[in-house]
């Protein structure tokens, strides 16, 4: 809810309605690639009824991206050589921007932005919403606890993430809202030419399970001799996985396509018979897959999935309905699940169909409305905390 003729940005329809000012602070934003980058971009572009500004880090190609995005974006020009110190510059910029923009709402899209969000709350009375994923909680537990304590509300992307927060003592007003998925206009399967399963993930985190899939391939090939595993994504672990495939004698049935465009990634999802990504808990036993949106992206194309029975995948995949959850550290269990789906076309078709239906419940319009609801609740809470105010009106979404 927001004031008619408040001091936010004027509505575009000439009615005099003003939009509440929303400041999104994030180190992760396109054109950089990754799940968080996609999530924050969808929020910034899709949350209607707000005067939104994004503060983020400089990236190669950011100038042309920002020029065509339609999103008011400011970037920190700190050198990438500074590493994590760039986040200090991001928080400093957020404080300067907050002083001039005076947001009514701050959405901290990562815990590294929480110092600025907490300061804006204290100095300006800005209502703050904090996003949590999973990995960052285990990596920086003290900062995660700080972020949770200093936010008016938190958004967790999975029940697993909520559990990690509860272990830190962050349990006040935590909302579970998963990432959204883009529902493709054309889901018509494309011919693969041979039994194919695909993995879509950066080759940067060992817990994604690429190594386990290499070990599983020999067993799969015994029953499906012409099987092909397509690896979509790139990263520092690629050479290691390639060498492991050669050592295991399965390199001839693995295709590394590297980092590809969204269109090519989608083409592989249409061609593959299933997606496999047996994410496990890292060696230290915490974090790992916060949710696993790729499972729903595959489901949107009618593809069944094989996933680990731990962490956020348990929220993303309905075992026996949209895919198969298995022990992600057991290569034989992974191989058995993949082989089963490659050989049992009726089962694969049933799970894929249910996956497509489930994906629709996670479509971005559905998720955006849930996030919007949290933000509007915070605006209402801000009004009530100030006592009696002028007559309120329902938010209007610009056409």
Q: List pLDDT tens digits, range 272-311.
A: 999 999 999 987 656 789 999 999 999 999 999 999 999 9
pLDDT at 27 over 60: yes
State the residue range of the domain holding 63: 2-180+363-393
pTM: 0.87
> Looking at the structure, do residues 127 and 19 belong to the same domain, yes or no?
yes
pLDDT at 73 over 90: yes
Are the beta carbons of 192 and 272 closer than 8 angstroms?
yes
Mean pLDDT of 327-346: 97
String of DSSP letters for 246-311: HHTT-GGGEEEEES--HHHHHHHHHH-SEEEE-----TTSS---S--HHHHHHHHTT--EEEESST
> Looking at the structure, do residues 218 and 327 belong to the same domain, yes or no?
yes
Q: Report the distance separating Cα 273 and Cα 268, nearest Å.
A: 10
> Looking at the structure, do residues 148 and 237 belong to the same domain, yes or no?
no
Tell whether 399 is covered by a domain: no
pLDDT at 3 over 50: no
Residues 6+ apart with CB under 8 A from 186: none
Three-class secondary structure of residue 126 per DSSP: coil
List, for residues 307-336, the tens digit of each pLDDT value.
999 999 999 999 999 999 999 999 999 999
Question: What count of Cα atoms within 13 Å lies in the side-chain half-sphere of residue 84?
Answer: 4
Q: Percent of the chain scored above 90 by pLDDT? A: 81
Mean pLDDT of 205-217: 96
List, for residues 244-263, the tens digit of each pLDDT value.
999 999 999 999 999 999 99
Mean pLDDT of 142-170: 95
The residue written with tokens 């907050």 in the block is 98
Tell whether 61 is covered by a domain: yes
Q: Report the distance separating Cα 8 and Cα 51, nearest Å.
A: 7
* Count of C-beta atoms within a 10 Å radius of residue 32: 17
Mean pLDDT of 35-59: 96
Length of the chain: 399
pLDDT at 17 over 80: no
Q: Report the distance separating Cα 201 and Cα 289, nearest Å.
A: 11
What element of type H or E holds 141?
A: helix 141-149
Mean pLDDT of 3-12: 41
How confident is residue 208, by pLDDT bands cut at 50, 70 and 90? very high
SS (H, E, C) 173-208: CEEECCCCECCCCCCCCCCCCCCEEEEECCCCCHHH
Tell whether 130 is covered by a domain: yes
CATH number of the domain where residue 353 is located:
3.40.50.2000
Whether the ω angle into residue 31 lies within 30 degrees of 0, i.e. cis, is yes
Q: How many domains does the chain have?
A: 2
pLDDT at 392 over 50: no
Beta strand 196-200 with 9-10: parallel, antiparallel or unpaired? unpaired
> Looking at the structure, do residues 307 and 244 belong to the same domain, yes or no?
yes
**What burial class does residue 387 get, using C-beta atoms within 10 Å of its C-beta: 0-12 exposed, 13-18 middle, 19+ buried?**
exposed
Tell whether 103 is covered by a domain: yes
> Looking at the structure, do residues 47 and 176 belong to the same domain, yes or no?
yes
pLDDT at 184 over 50: yes
């Amino acid at each position: 809810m927001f004031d008619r003729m408040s001091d936010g940005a004027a509505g575009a329809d000439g009615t005099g309605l003003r939009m509440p000012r929303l400041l999104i602070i994030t180190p992760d934003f396109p054109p950089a690639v990754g799940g968080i980058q996609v999530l924050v971009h969808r929020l910034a572009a899709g949350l209607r009824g707000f005067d939104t500004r994004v503060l983020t880090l400089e990236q190669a190609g950011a100038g042309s991206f920002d020029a065509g995005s339609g999103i008011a974006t400011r970037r920190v020009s700190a050198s990438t050589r500074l590493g994590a110190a760039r986040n200090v510059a991001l928080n400093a910029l957020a404080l300067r921007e907050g002083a001039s923009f005076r947001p009514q709402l701050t959405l901290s899209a990562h815990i590294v932005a929480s110092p600025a969000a907490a300061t804006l709350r204290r100095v300006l009375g800005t209502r703050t919403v904090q996003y949590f994923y999973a990995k960052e909680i285990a990596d920086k537990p003290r900062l995660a606890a700080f972020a949770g304590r200093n936010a008016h509300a938190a958004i967790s992307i999975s029940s697993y993430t909520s559990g990690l927060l509860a272990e830190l003592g962050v349990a006040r007003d935590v909302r579970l809202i998963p990432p959204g998925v883009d529902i493709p206009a054309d889901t018509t399967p494309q011919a693969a030419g041979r039994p194919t399963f695909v993995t879509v993930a950066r080759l940067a985190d060992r817990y994604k399970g690429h190594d386990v899939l290499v070990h599983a391939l020999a067993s799969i090939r015994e029953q499906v001799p012409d099987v092909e595993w397509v690896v979509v994504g790139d990263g520092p672990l690629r050479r290691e996985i390639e060498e492991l495939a050669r050592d295991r004698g399965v390199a001839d049935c693995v295709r590394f396509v590297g980092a590809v465009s969204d269109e090519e990634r989608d083409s592989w999802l249409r061609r593959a018979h299933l997606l496999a990504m047996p994410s496990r808990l890292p060696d230290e036993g915490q974090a790992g897959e916060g949710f696993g949106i790729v499972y729903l992206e595959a489901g949107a194309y009618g593809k069944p999935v094989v996933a680990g029975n731990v962490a956020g995948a348990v929220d993303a995949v309905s075992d026996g309905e949209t895919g198969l959850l298995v022990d992600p550290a057991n290569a034989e269990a992974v191989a058995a699940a993949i082989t089963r789906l490659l050989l049992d076309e009726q089962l694969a078709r049933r799970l894929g169909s249910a996956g497509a239906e489930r994906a629709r419940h996670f479509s971005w319009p559905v998720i955006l409305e849930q996030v919007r609801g949290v933000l509007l609740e915070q605006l209402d809470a801000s009004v009530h905390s100030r006592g009696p105010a002028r007559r309120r009106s329902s938010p209007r979404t610009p056409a």
